[in-house]
Structure 1
């Protein structure tokens, strides 16, 4: 620790540096010169006050900046530790997603591109498993400067998120109600789903029945299910909800709605095998748009948010740290599958 303090003292002769900058650069220089390595304990705030005579606020501010940049990490009641030997890293970001579905890949590609090359990005997947989500947050806290999180809608989620600094968290994909003033770039499901169903009502009524495949206790938004039920009740729509599609059970005269892409591909395959004309004999609606749905079978009708735009806005937050609380609109794309 004496070597670290000496590194800080060596910068006192540089008049252009503030005490805050002396502390930051002194610790960075100590790591760069391998005086301390990843995992090593740094001097406590009280030690630095005693050795340097700097104000407590100045030292705390310097340590917070180094944590923000991902260079050091804070361990509760144990102190500050070196988090990386790569001191040239400007910022270290933890990205926590549900999984790497095609729409989340679109988000990631635009997010990664928007960040540029000077930011270290680590990605984690919780697969809608709350225990996994909780463990990820536990493992990343104190080790990253920013946290971009697709959180699981769960009553326990706000408590888990409180382990992280509120101003360093950006919630993406799902909006989660909490008591904290988090930044977010998210999509909305309840009203947008209902509006999409209503706009498609006349086309849906061409068919005898609409079948919605919804898997309980999955990552599929419960708000879409509730909107579907409200749509059927308010507009006297003949429909049914099933938990999964069974291969070969496709029936003429029905329209099928699914959130799950694998079920959609299976149904499209079966419609081809059975010789059904899509948009006439049978109809399809899907959630979350992508290029495949735009071109396959002359286009599948979808309603979806713009995940590319969400990724760009998330990257802008990381780079500029401007407060953002925005719901990305959901857009209905009416194609030939109805």
Structure 2
């Protein structure tokens, strides 16, 4: 096994790679150069610690990564063996999102690009349906090397996700209360919405009334409604929450706050038909940014987390598996539609 250890040690000076990546690539190089072949037993964890000097958890993590690619297999009480000499096998990642909306598309494209060609990403959507969410989790459990999950915020969802190993699981998008060993890169809605409305207070005062369109039977985050209601109460602003926008009901000197882009299109059509100027005759504020909002009507104001940043950090977790607990802050973009 001397040649095997030498092959791994060759990569130890590559400071741009983590120790886990050095070990994974060292084993792959040893297979490619036929130092070890299919069916050969790899050194034990203890032997690797002794020869390489890496921590046990780093070696276990590397062997498990190779297992998830199908390159290595473990046999009970017998150790790790070379299972496949096709070292181009990709680590499989299960990505479970709400739906393929524009901001989810931004997340997916950035996530995929950041991971690169050594990862196979299978994407699933639950559409805020608890039965579909449960069925997908039961179907994918144990079949992927990593799991990136946008959960339905509920205790039932937390119980389901706890069936997945914490070191392979990342919660994204919506925050959910999980044991501390589980990682998350999520949004926070109530205080974030409140504080961003505070920042726009002087512009909001231009309008006689503010209307938030919010449906309790949808996947809208309840924190947005709570933050909105707190803001209009604390600042004594005339405001209301309505289920949906009815086409043709547009009113002058009103600020419309949309979560759903389908409602946004309806009010913009009314603006065009009545020759209303956005940012002067009426105001428009939307949740979640998208490229088209930068273009239409000289730009639509958004309150939004940076989903590209979220995706980059999610990809980093998949690559390095370092525990992370992070809330992505909201940003205000393009203020002129207020």
Q: Which residue of 2 aligns with 1:106?
A: 106
Alpha-carbon distance in 2 for matches of 1:206, 1:173: 33
Residues 39-96 of structure 1 deviation map (CA, whole Å, 9 limit, x = unaligned): xxxxxxxxx9xxx9x89999xx69844543366899xxxxxxxx99976324111011
Give distance in 2, aligned partners of 1:216 and 1:85: 53
Indicate the residue corresponding to 1:242 in structure 2: 242
Determine if the alignment matches structure 1 residue 304 to structure 2 residue 304: yes
How does the TM-score come out when normalised to structure 2?
A: 0.78
Cα root mean square deviation, aligned:
3.3
1:89–1:271 distance in 2 versus 1, CA, 3 Å: same
Structure 1 residue runs of 5 or longer lacking an equivalent are 1-13, 31-47, 75-82
TM-score, reference length from structure 1: 0.78
State the SS of the aligned residue for 2:295. helix
Q: 1:236 to 1:70 in 2, by over 3 A?
A: farther
1:234-313 mapped onto 2 (5 Å cutoff) = 234-313=234-313
Structure 1 residues 55 and 193: CA distance shift in structure 2, 3 A: closer
- Does 1:95 find its partner at 2:95? yes
SS of match in other structure, 1:246: coil
**Is the 2:303–2:331 Cα contact (8 Å) retained in structure 1?**
yes
**CA separation of 1:55/1:334 partners in 2, compared to 1, >3 Å: closer, same or farther?**
closer
Matching residue of 1:127? 127
**Structure 1 stretch displaced more, 219-228 or 320-329:** 320-329
Alignment of 1:119-198 (within 5 A): 119-198=119-198
Moved more, 181-190 or 219-228: 181-190
Shift of 1:321: 2.1
SS of equivalent to 1:262: helix
Q: 5+ residue gaps in structure 2?
A: 6-26, 49-59, 75-82
Q: How much has 1:163 moved relative to structure 2?
A: 1.1
Partner residue, 2:207: 207
**1:179 deviation in Å?**
2.3
The aligned counterpart of 2:320 is 320
Residue in 1 aligned with 2:15?
A: none
Deviations 1:296-315 (A, max 9, x none): 11111111111111111111
